[in-house]
């Protein structure tokens, strides 16, 4: 998923930077409006530039599971370990837009064929 070769250098770096920021800043429970906007922008870049045709199905399956588990379990985990809850919120902010973009691209691909 995080390829840093060829034409998808921006998408690969967006993925790595986004996940790194979500983990590091989430561990320190640093959250603000601009960081959330940055996560969403990184997620959009990942969805548009980083996911190839052969990676669509695994990404959608993994992304959907990550979104569901993080959103349902994030509240429960955040009670005991608030840092982990913040990390999950950051990852959700990245993966929700990426998953939406990849799903829309997949629908258009299916419609064309």
The domains of the chain are located at 6-112
Task: Examine the pLDDT at 41 and tell me if it is beyond 70.
Answer: yes
- Chain-wide mean pLDDT for the chain? 86
The share of the chain scoring above pLDDT 90, in percent, equals 45
Question: Is residue 85 packed enough to be buried (19+ CB in 10 Å), middle (13-18) or exposed (0-12)?
Answer: buried
The arithmetic mean of pLDDT across residues 42-65, rounded, is 90
The rounded distance, in Å, linking the Cα atoms of 6 and 27 is 32
Provide the 3-class DSSP secondary structure of residue 1.
Answer: coil
pTM of the model: 0.84
The better pLDDT of the pair 85, 7 is held by: 85
Task: Examine the pLDDT at 1 and tell me if it is beyond 60.
Answer: no
């Amino acid at each position: 998923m995080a390829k840093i070769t060829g034409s998808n250098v921006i998408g690969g770096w967006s993925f790595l930077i986004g996940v790194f920021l979500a983990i590091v800043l989430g561990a320190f429970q640093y959250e603000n409006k601009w960081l959330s906007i940055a996560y969403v922008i990184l997620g959009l870049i990942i969805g548009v530039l980083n996911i190839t045709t052969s990676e669509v199905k695994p990404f959608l399956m993994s992304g959907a599971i990550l979104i569901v588990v993080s959103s349902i379990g994030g509240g429960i985990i955040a009670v005991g370990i608030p840092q982990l809850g913040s990390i999950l919120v950051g990852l959700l902010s990245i993966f929700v837009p990426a998953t939406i973009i990849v799903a829309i691209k997949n629908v258009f691909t299916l419609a064309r064929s």
